[in-house]
Amino acid sequence: MIVVGLVLVAVGTVLFHLLSPWWWTPIASNWGYIDDTIVLTFWITGTVFIAVILFMAYCALRYKHRAGVRSEYRPENKNLEWWLTIVTTVGVAGMLIPGLFVWNQFVTVPAEATEIEVMAKQWSWSFRKPGKDGKLGTTNVRLVNADNPFGIDPKDPNGQDDVLVDGDNLHLPLNKPIKVLLRSLDVLHDFYVPQFRAKMDMVPGAVTYFWFTPTRTGTFDILCFELCGVGHHAMRSQVVVEAQTAYDNWLNQQMTFKKALAAVEKRAAENKQLASRKAAADIVATIAAD
Amino acid sequence: MAEVGAEIERIGPAEVEDVELYHAKSWITKYVFSQDAKVIAIQYSATAIAIGMVALVLSWLMRLQLGFPESFDFIEAQDYYQFITMHGMIMVVYLLTALFLGGFGNYLIPLMVGARDMVFPYVNMLSYWIYLLAVLVLVASFFVPGGPTGAGWTLYPPQAILTGTPGAGAGIVLMLVSLALFIIGFTMGGLNYVTTVLQARTRGMTLMRMPLTVWGIFTATVLALLAFPALFVGAVMMTLDSVLGTSFFMPTIVSQGELLKHDGGSPILFQHLFWFFGHPEVYIVALPAFGIVSDLISVHARRHIFGYRMMVWAIVIIGALSFVVWAHHMYVSGMNPYFGFFFATTTLIIAVPTAIKVYNWTLTLWRANINFTLPMLFALAFIVTFVNGGITGLFLGNVVVDVPLSDTMFVVAHFHMVMGVAPILVIFGAIYHWYPLMTGRMLNEAMGQFHFWVTFLGAYMIFLPIHYLGFLGVPRRYFEMGTTSFIPESAHTLNEFITVVALIVGVAQLVFFYNVVWSMIKGKKAGHNPWKATTLEWQTEEVPPGHGNFGRELPVVYRWAYDYGVPGAEDDFVPQNHPPKRAPARAAE
């Protein structure tokens, strides 16, 4: 019975893998090496797993209890133990070394990468890109308010031409390496697009980053991948990867920080005017009531 | 292996150990405020299993939501996050840690090393009562305004103490207080286990003759004594952040449009403290399971454990390494990414001693004479699920592979297989194995077979497919997926299937509980040493053993714990306290 059970588990696992319609969502970034490392790990470990189960099934079949029979008394076998240790070490190194090699690429951001910023708060995403100067303006959480949701320092000239995308999808040009700077206003979040394979937590009080190159046009879901409160599952946006010309068109339509500030000032001036008119009307009303 | 088996040919006559124990004078001091490690063990186990049932029910509710979203009005997003949080924390700390160390540790350590009791029985009693208080405080958090915390079992700040997370007021504070109490209670027990193993072993019980069960529990206790303080300080600091407004873990934050008063703290600091505890915690659960399963396999395969010394060193090395791998839980936390090189290397090195343990378990079966008893079946099932969960650890430990997989359902599948299903299968195996000692009766075989097959195959069918959802990119800790373009309809069907199986496996546990109660009254009488085991707990005068464990004299140990199938021996096993044949001749000299 247990022999059948063990064989069933081994065969069932292999069949499940072969027949499963669920596998990696097709990749849309340069991180194919990550997928390769996973496939390598999968085959090495999968083989060991099946081999262990089948060996146990064999023992269960061959060495089932028989009356009058004794088990072999041989508490140690130095040779065998050393061989198994060495083979295992080689197998582990065979997974670790390629893994570290790819990790080295992951932490080495190419010099030509364009910086963009993704900012998270409960439970929405916003994005910021440098203007023509190629530099993002400095920010400070204490400057965040309804008129300056990113908390950009208005005195920093680099920030004036920053492109702000609040409440819209993120657009990215195809085949250009991107360094994503990550910021959070409140709690931990995590920016992840499954097709890109790369993710990183966003930590309030710090700026984190990762890099990737989009390699396929399309619209992909952005999900928050670090539990961030009751709205966690609904914290969504999308990223549109498109050719350079389409991207440039989109970029030109976006609001810059300078324009946003101007709009705020204009509105403030109007409000002031309105307020003084209202005050005058109030005085008139008061006098009339007397 | 002559060194282990027969090196001591002569040991002086056993002296009567007249240990002064506090003998209970009333029913209350015998069964309630008991200082007998065996009674304390059963109190710990019963409490742990009771709170574990709460976690089991929470898992059903979670599975209902995942399998059939938008079908249950009584499960809102905040409820779901509370379910996952409490389920995780209860299972890891209040069930598994308490059951392995407080339960099996208390019952087996004194018996297996040939001691009358733990060395500090009174402190041992306090340990249980403080544990019970910790559980009650935890349960109380279900009834306070806002409910229990829903911050995830990792309790990451700032989330855990900010509005926007369920239970951010009273819930999280009670959780932290309960953890602090648990740690205080555990420390009392833990010092007992360690001191008893080091100081109270009977004559002839050298460290390298101890059963692997004791090695596993002993090493796990040492880990826990070193790891829990990190969680303790983390809990105290977060309580201060929450109650007094300090900023240990809180940077400048704009929460829901409002600038908070905190300034300058580090959320990642908490993660380091948490995982400095959290990773050893995995081995606090795993090492006792490793030890126990080694003994189950050896006894029921009627063969010595293969490579005993290697097994002991593997336990010790795994324990030591478990303190230098913690940040593999934090590869994408935003810590300095260069740490990844170090932690990936240490993490994958752990795979080597762990693999050796697996080889040695299977090589114990090789050329054995295997009885397919219930404990043996559970032990085999443990190896299957542990290897399955262990190899997926090689994915997640290898830093760059972790990047796409972290926080997906793959992680959920991995840790459930390796530190949920696998240790729980060992717990079941251990209960089927030691129940005859604790009660004097055998558990019913037919009910046990049913329980085994449904639990093993069912649990495997639940968690194997979840890995594939993780490959797909399905995140963990999601109340519902809503419309997500990369998730096909078939994934929802799979979730329904998993939920149905989970409910079946859950209900099948009732058969086990029924068996435990039924067999206590109607089970077959076990008699002395029904499994023909060599270890000391089976060599007591009375079954179940009375207060003081052994008769007038403590047993004297002449050999290791694994003399099965010794060539030339009368029987196929030789108990540890069985003197070698030549000893009487020498003694007469």
Cα angle B441, B447, B449 (rounded to 5 degrees) comes to 105
How far away is chain B from the Cα of A134, in angstroms, using its nearest Cα?
24
Per-residue model confidence (pLDDT) at position B582: 59
DSSP B541-583: SSSS--TTSSSSS-----S-TT-BS-TT-SSSB--TTPPPTTH
The whole-angstrom separation of Cα B296 and Cα B433 is 7
With CB atoms and an 8 Å threshold, state whether A188 touches B406.
no
The whole-angstrom separation of Cα B71 and Cα A128 is 39
The whole-angstrom separation of Cα B320 and Cα B315 is 9
**Residues from chain A contacting residue B456 (CB–CB below 8 Å):** 5
With CB atoms and an 8 Å threshold, state whether B460 touches A63.
no
Amino acid at B45: S
Closest CA to B112 of B209, B251, B39, B191: B209
Q: Tell me what the pLDDT averaged over chain A comes to.
A: 93
Which SS3 state, helix, strand or coil, does residue A231 take? coil
**Residues from chain A contacting residue B462 (CB–CB below 8 Å):** none
With CB atoms and an 8 Å threshold, state whether B254 touches A144.
yes
Q: Does A24 touch chain B (CB under 8 A)?
A: yes
CA distance readout (Å), B469 to A280, B60, B493: 66, 19, 12
Which residues, at least 6 apart from A183, have a Cβ–Cβ distance to it below 8 Å? A117, A118, A119, A120, A139, A202, A207
> Largest alpha-carbon pair distance within chain B?
90
How far away is chain A from the Cα of B85, in angstroms, using its nearest Cα?
11
CA distance readout (Å), B126 to B22, B109, B122, B195: 15, 18, 6, 16
Sign of the Cα torsion B66, B68, B70, B71 reads: negative
Residue A162 near residue A135, CB atoms below 8 Å: no
Nearest CA in chain A to B458: A9
**ipTM of this model?**
0.92
The whole-angstrom separation of Cα A148 and Cα A164 is 10
**Cα B467 off chain centre by:** 23
The whole-angstrom separation of Cα B461 and Cα B65 is 19
Per-residue model confidence (pLDDT) at position B584: 47
With CB atoms and an 8 Å threshold, state whether A206 touches B334.
yes
The whole-angstrom separation of Cα B188 and Cα B367 is 43
Q: Which of residues 193-222 of A touch B (CB under 8 A)?
A: 194-195, 197-206, 208, 219-221
Domain regions of chain A by residue span? 2-17+25-61+78-107, 114-258
Beta B254-255 vs A236-242: how paired, if at all?
Answer: unpaired
The whole-angstrom separation of Cα A11 and Cα A17 is 10
pLDDT per residue as tens digits for the range A209-251: 999 999 999 999 999 999 999 999 999 999 999 999 999 999 9
How far away is chain A from the Cα of B566, in angstroms, using its nearest Cα?
6
With CB atoms and an 8 Å threshold, state whether A99 touches B401.
yes
3-state secondary structure B443-456: CCHHHHHHHHHHHH
How far away is chain A from the Cα of B1, in angstroms, using its nearest Cα?
6
Has domain A114-258 been given CATH number 3.40.50.2300? no
3-state secondary structure B298-367: HHHHCCCCCCHHHHHHHHHHHHHHHHHCHHHHCCCCCCCCCHHHHHHHHHHHHHHHHHHHHHHHHHHHCC
The whole-angstrom separation of Cα B474 and Cα B494 is 12
Nearest CA in chain A to B150: A229
pLDDT per residue as tens digits for the range A10-67: 999 999 999 999 999 999 999 999 999 999 999 999 999 999 999 999 999 999 999 8
pLDDT per residue as tens digits for the range A118-156: 999 999 999 999 988 889 999 999 999 988 999 999 999
Helix (H) or strand (E) holding B277: helix B267-301
Token pair 């969504």 is found at A236
Per-residue model confidence (pLDDT) at position A290: 63
> ω before B313 within 30° of 0 (cis)?
no
Q: Does A65 touch chain B (CB under 8 A)?
A: yes
**Residues from chain A contacting residue B401 (CB–CB below 8 Å):** 34, 37-38, 41, 99
CA distance readout (Å), A32 to A45, A195, B487: 20, 11, 20
**Residues from chain B contacting residue A31 (CB–CB below 8 Å):** 404
How many other C-beta atoms are found inside a 10 Å radius of the C-beta of residue A24? Answer: 18
Average pLDDT over residues A254-267: 89
pLDDT per residue as tens digits for the range A171-187: 999 999 999 999 999 99
Amino acid at A213: T
Per-residue model confidence (pLDDT) at position B105: 97
Amino acid at B125: M
pLDDT tens for the 589 residues of chain B, in order: 444 444 444 454 445 455 567 777 888 888 899 999 999 999 999 999 999 999 999 999 999 999 999 899 899 999 999 999 999 999 999 999 999 999 999 999 999 999 999 999 999 999 999 999 999 999 999 999 999 999 999 999 999 999 999 999 999 999 999 999 999 999 999 999 999 999 999 999 999 999 999 999 999 999 999 999 999 999 999 999 999 999 999 999 999 989 999 999 999 999 999 999 999 999 999 999 999 999 999 999 999 999 999 999 999 999 999 999 999 999 999 999 999 999 999 999 999 999 999 999 999 999 999 999 999 999 999 999 999 999 999 999 999 999 999 999 999 999 999 999 999 999 999 999 999 999 999 999 999 999 999 999 999 999 999 999 999 999 999 999 988 999 999 999 999 999 999 999 999 999 999 999 999 999 999 999 999 999 999 999 998 999 889 888 889 999 999 999 999 888 999 999 999 875 444 444 3
Predicted structure pTM score: 0.93
